[in-house]
Amino acid sequence: MRKLLPELIEKMEKKVPYAYAMSDYYRGVTIRKDKQGVYVNETPAINGIVFSAFNGEFFEEAAVTNCTQDNLNHTVKELLERVTVRDNDMVIDPGPGGYREFYTKTILAPMQVELSEKIEIVEDLQNRLLKLDPRVVNAWVAYKEQIKDQIFVNRYKNFTQTIIRGSVVLSLFMSDGNKVVNNMEIIGRTQGVELLKNIDNSLLERIKKETIEMLGATKIEPGFYDVITCPDVSGIIAHETFGHGVEMDLYLKDGALAEKYIGKKLAPEYVNIIDDPTLEGEYGCYFFDDEGELAKPTYIIENGVFKRGLSDFYTSLYLPHLPRTANGRRESVARKPYARMSNTFFVPGKYTLEEIIESTDNGIFMDNGYFGMEDPKGWGLQVNSRIGREIKGGKYTGKVFSPITMTGFVPDLLKEISHVGNTFGSIPGTCAKRYKEDVIVSIGGAHIKTKARLG
């Protein structure tokens, strides 16, 4: 395929000013264990190729799953027949070329471990959850592994990448006889089966402790608070506000208020937000995006100043004053590329968590984040966490609220950040764009302290 695709691209560029092809080969398995039994879903291998031709104004594409040489030639022929080249002065830069290969580093690649052994580990984890406390009424564990091989070819580039991802969901239900609460922990990395094997009792005990806290929690009095966020919640804030809100395809449609703030100071100088697909081991990592751009970090906020957004190839052509980023991503070869996030996070600062708590006279520590949403047009956001711990006089009081919802206007939230923690944490996720176009991401960063409305 790495020999055939360049020949087809050369054929396409006899008519159009620029063309590329991407091959995608995906497979995986999901194992879930609950009280009813074990469920195994092996994803059948999915293979596909998309051809993209720039007609001088926009990209036209054709995708196939029948990847025989004859069918690929036929697909390219049909695509070229329907393309009408527009005359303009737009010049496409294919980027630095070469013949390059990239692989995820693993200790135990999925193909090295038998399915039966993976099932045994999942069953053992679920059994250990059930035995954590007499109040446990249910528990389930799910393990998912994904392997993706991609080839990207344009007139200069011939790249391949193999990305291996694993994730584990641990879900615990407890009841005190009056109410039932559900706590959940999700971990995910670009790793092999070592991710599953390395789950230890300390994580299970933390899930137990949090779930017991949720049983005894009350509702918070709505109002403005000093708020400390755990890395999960910090990551949701970064993802919702400077993820979706700065995906620059929205700028072309006047669909994001963030565009009007580029170059402006939105936060104190110690606040930095990065989107970085090169962050080794993180769930949203890749070596090049789905349009062949080599992965690199993008400072969205640098020293408090909103520097730039995230782009796909098409967006970068029409916003040339903002350099292209490696964020052109597809749900599959059957879907078009959009500007999408990878690993989006608050960069760690200088304070320990203990110092941040001690600086808080009356506030809430938001822990165990699980949901967020934002409005790009109005730049408002909502972030939810399962736990809110009360702080008085620089110490936890022992009082817990659950659940907690933070709302606010993004610039207001950012300008009130007074502390950024010195540790880093992240959680994996699957991100949609307007309820579709799912891509894999991670979110996280440091603890932060700000002021916000809670309810």
Question: Using CA atoms, how far apart are residues 86 and 58, in angstroms rounded to an integer?
Answer: 9
Determine the pLDDT at residue 240: 84
**C-alpha distance across the termini of the chain, in Å:** 55
> What global pTM score does this model have?
0.94
> Average pLDDT per run of 10 along the chain, which is 455 residues long?
93 96 96 96 91 96 96 97 90 90 96 96 98 97 97 97 98 96 97 96 97 97 97 93 80 79 94 96 97 96 94 91 91 92 96 98 96 83 96 97 95 95 95 84 97 96
pLDDT of residue 244: 75
Q: Measured between alpha carbons, how far is 314 from 318 in angstroms, rounded to an integer?
A: 7
> What confidence score (pLDDT) does residue 253 get?
79
Report the pLDDT value the prediction gives residue 241, as an integer from 0 to 100: 80
pLDDT of the residue at 389: 98
- pLDDT of 374 reads 82
* Contact in structure between 325 and 295 (CB atoms under 8 Å): no
Task: Determine the pLDDT at residue 178.
Answer: 93
Nearest to 447 by CA among 149, 145, 212, 231: 231
